[in-house]
Structure 1
């Protein structure tokens, strides 16, 4: 058993509560949607899910910190400084348009290291989870999960390449290299949000890249990809989650053998 077994059991309980709230509001005719200051949408389901997770964590892990997309950071009061990171609905634009590709993302951080990640996509009937040293799993729920593993593809010409959006890469000044990767790869698709990373962890595709992310977008994804045998770094090649705010992270996730090639094509030097 992993040293994080109790935390993982709690993460599944949080996801169960989140799924019950989010599925009840998915495609609801009275769904309320507003624009945040950055003009991204937030629904009443986003806020309800985060409030519920915060309440459960306050009851079961009162000393742990919490960073959530909708209500910010609550510092840890316990001696170990552990922090949970929550994105109540990753893929809100899909959610509000009735597209079933959205999920609740739950992570546990020790320092800047994500030691546990869980992604629950109830409209897809699927959940992914991992804890440090325990492997990665997927299935309808913890009682029926099966181990997952990244692919063994070794060349870009044989690889399925996934990206977030071309406009994001254009804004990052790297549209040209992304387009060249698309030309050189066997296949390219923009699945977006959490889903590309989970398909990577399952071995269904081989590379997923994103130029701009927030901590809550990515923290839960890292342990799932790496425990499935993959590699996860930022564009400078650093395996860190040091950012605490919005838009200060980036991602290159791969099956491992392809990572050096993609990093050389898209990477940027670390800031001095």
Structure 2
């Protein structure tokens, strides 16, 4: 536990580098990496600066970033850092203040340290495995909501690129089902926001019809440590190998999973 607490301090210091760059820098170059999926020179600078910091602070631990990939991993280390330098790049480019820096320390197939910063909102989240989750030093707890009709549920971005049309038919069907069952549906455009706000009780559920490790790893740990339930659409515990991500306050987890499963079965 002492080692994880130390590594959490390192992670928080690393994420502050990205936080300051987001708050003080606007993008000048927007580059297409796939159909309507972009990155900026700010994403790259944050990733490089955090990579450099972590290489000095924890030289024994490898690193993988969303924009420039993997550094050499020490074969003797059970850990690797995983970074999404700007989760919500499209929001950042357009000046929408919903984006964040997301850093996870991954051990095998599980996250043991997760840190998320939402720079424009001055909200800074962190968690360690079995150590609880916190925002700005305050302990987090998922909501007590027990009814879908009283729930706010976030849904992840619609698909881009190959097979987007087919994938989005299912997502649109899911949005329609949610619209008829929950109090409100929200799309924040950032998995970091979805999972951190689930942990904080600002929302009651979050559905991401994909499982991108660098986008989700930190948030999954933070939400779990706050008491949220994170599942695959199979109903099994969510892992790095899961196809989908269904995250919810305990009181609505079964209901939300049933809604997702029903929608998937109808659309296949």
TM-score by length of 2: 0.88
Structure 2 portions without partners, runs of 5+: none
Structure 1 consecutive aligned stretches of length 4 or more whose deviation exceeds 6 Å: none
Cα distance in structure 2, aligned partners of 1:21 and 1:165: 25
Q: Please tell me whether residue 151 in structure 1 is matched to residue 143 in structure 2.
A: yes
Q: Given the alignment, which residue of 241, 250, 253 partners 2:247?
A: 253
* Larger displacement relative to structure 2 (45-54 or 233-242): 233-242
Q: Given the alignment, which residue of 202, 211, 216 partners 2:209?
A: 211
Q: Given the alignment, which residue of 126, 130, 133 partners 2:123?
A: 126
* Larger displacement relative to structure 2 (12-21 or 104-113): 12-21
Secondary structure at 1:236's aligned position in 2?
coil
Shift of 1:91: 0.6
Q: Given the alignment, which residue of 51, 55, 72 partners 2:52?
A: 55
Shift of 1:23: 2.1
Cα distance in structure 2, aligned partners of 1:48 and 1:166: 27
Shift of 1:265: 2.0
Secondary structure at 2:250's aligned position in 1?
coil
> Which residues of 2 match residues 165-176 of structure 1 at below 5 A?
165=157, 171=168, 173-176=170-173
Secondary structure at 1:114's aligned position in 2?
strand
Structure 1 portions without partners, runs of 5+: 140-144
Q: Given the alignment, which residue of 226, 235, 238 partners 1:237?
A: 235
Aligned alpha-carbon RMSD (Å)? 2.2
Cα distance in structure 2, aligned partners of 1:91 and 1:165: 10
Cα distance in structure 1, aligned partners of 2:36 and 2:201: 34
- More helix by percentage: 2
Secondary structure at 1:150's aligned position in 2?
coil
Q: Given the alignment, which residue of 95, 114, 119 partners 1:117?
A: 114
- CA distance 1:87–1:170, change in 2 (3 Å): same
TM-score by length of 1: 0.87
